[in-house]
Structure 1
Amino acid sequence: MPTDKQRTLLDGALRLFARDGYARASIDALAAEAGVSSRTIYNHYGDKAGLFRAVILDSSDHVAERQIALADALLGRVVDLEADLVEFGVRWATPEPDFAPHFRLVRHIEADLDNIDPATVAAWHERGPLRVRHALAAHLGRLSDAGLLAIEDPLLAAVHLVHLTATSVAAVPDADREAVVRAGVKVFLRAYGA
C-alpha cells in the first residue's frame, strides 16, 4: 500500500502521463504535477521509467479490481442468462469517470511502445487486461459447466464477449448503448449458447 506521499505522486504522475504520454513527460513536470521535488521521484522510484511502471501497475490494479468486482456481482449469480449478460455488458461499457486517465494512459502506451520498457508493458498486460480476462473467463467457464453456455475456450469467449458488448460500444451515443450491447449479447449467445 503506497504511503500518502507515494499516493500523491502516483496520482499526479497518472494525470501527467495520461495527458502527455511517457516520452513527453519530464521528471520536472511530473514532480510539479504531483507537488513534490524531483528528488522525491528518484528516491521512491529511481527514474521516470520506474515511476511509469509504478503508475501503470497501480492504475491497472485499481481498474482491474473494479472490473472483476463487476463480473463477480453480475455473472456470479446468473438468473436470466441473456438479461444478466446484457446488464453486464451495459455496465461494462458505461464509462467510469475515474477510469478516464487510466484509459488515456493505455492509449499512450499503445501509441508509444517503442519508448516503453517491454517488461513494463508485459507487467501491465498481466496485471490489467489478462487478469480481468481470466476472471471473466472463469465466470463463463462456470456458466458452461452449468450447461448455460457451450464454451470450449473460456479465454477466447471472454474476448468475444467484451468485443461484442463493450469495445463495439465505445463510440455509440449513450441512448443507443443498451441496444448495441443487447445485439452483441445475441451474437455471443448464437456462438456460445447451450
Structure 2
Amino acid sequence: MKTTAQTPGRRRQSEAKRAAVLDAAEALFVSDGYEVTSVDAIAERAGVSKRTVYDHFGDKQNLFRIVLGRANDAMVATMRSAIDEELAEGLDLRDALCAFAERVATETFPMSTYAVFRRLNSQAPLGSPLREDWRERREGMLEKRFAEYAADGELKLSDPHRAVQHFVALTLRLALDAIDQDSADAAEIRAIISDGVDVFLRAYR
C-alpha cells in the first residue's frame, strides 16, 4: 500500500490537535474523573472530531495512560531539577538535604502540576505500572545520589533504596500529611523537615 508523508503544515496541524486532545482530556479527567468523562466530551472541549481522538489515541483507556504518563514525566523533571540543584556536590550535607526537602514540600507540592498528577494518579487502577512509576523514578534518582554520598564517605549505608525510603518517610511524607490536613504553616513545614533530616543523619551518618 502506498503511503504519503505528511507535509510540514499537516504535521503541525496534527500535533496541535493531539496536544489539544491531551489538554482537554487532562482537564476533564481531573475535574470530572475518568469514569464520567466521555470521548465525546473530550473531543468537544478539544475542538476536534471524535474520530480524531480515536485516530490519535485508540481509546479512552490508552488516552488516560498517556495523560498520566505526561503528568509523571513533568513531576520527574521537577524532581530531577531539585536534586541537581539542591543536592549538588560541595554543599554541606545537612543543609543540602533540608534545602531539597523544603523545596519539594513548599514549591513542588503546592504546584498545580502536582495537584493534577495526584488527582490523575488516584484514578489509575490498583496494580497499574503507571501508578507506581512516579515513586519508583523519584526514589531511583534519590538512590543514585545517596549512593554517591556513600561513595564520598558522607553517608554510611548498605542499601540506598532503604535509606531513601527512610528519608522520604521522615521528611516529605510527614510534610505532605501536614499540608493535606492544613495543619502547618511554612515555619512548621521547615521544622518537620529539619527534625526529619536530623533523625535520618543520626542513623546514616
Structure 2 equivalent of residue 153 of structure 1: 159
How far residue 73 of structure 1 moved from its aligned partner, in angstroms, is: 1.5
How far residue 78 of structure 1 moved from its aligned partner, in angstroms, is: 4.3
Note the 1:104-123 alignment, pairs <5 A.
104-109=119-124, 113=125, 121-123=128-130
- CA separation in 2, counterparts of 1:183 and 1:33? 47
Q: Is contact 1:18-1:108 (8 Å) kept?
A: no
Structure 1 equivalent of residue 10 of structure 2: none
How far residue 87 of structure 1 moved from its aligned partner, in angstroms, is: 0.4
Q: Is contact 1:93-1:167 (8 Å) kept?
A: no
Structure 1 equivalent of residue 140 of structure 2: 134
* Unmatched segments (≥5 aa) in structure 2: 1-13
Structure 2 equivalent of residue 101 of structure 1: 116
Cα pair distance change 1:191/1:32, threshold 3 Å: farther
Cα pair distance change 1:33/1:167, threshold 3 Å: farther
SS, match of residue 157 in structure 2: coil
Note the 1:16-95 alignment, pairs <5 A.
16-94=28-106, 95=110
Q: Is contact 2:75-2:113 (8 Å) kept?
A: no
Aligned residues: 183
Alignment partner of 1:4 is 2:16: yes
CA RMSD, Structure 1 to Structure 2 (Å): 1.9
TM-score, length-normalised on structure 1? 0.85
- CA separation in 2, counterparts of 1:49 and 1:160? 35
AA aligned opposite 2:71? S
SS, match of residue 183 in structure 1: helix
Q: Is contact 2:71-2:113 (8 Å) kept?
A: no
* Greater relative CO, 1 or 2 (CA 8 Å, sep 6+): 1
CA-to-partner distance for each residue in 1:137-175, whole Å, 9 max, x for gaps?
Answer: 100110011111111111222222222211111223333
* Unmatched segments (≥5 aa) in structure 1: none
TM-score, length-normalised on structure 2? 0.81
Give 1 or 2 for the bigger CA radius of gyration: 2
SS, match of residue 34 in structure 2: helix
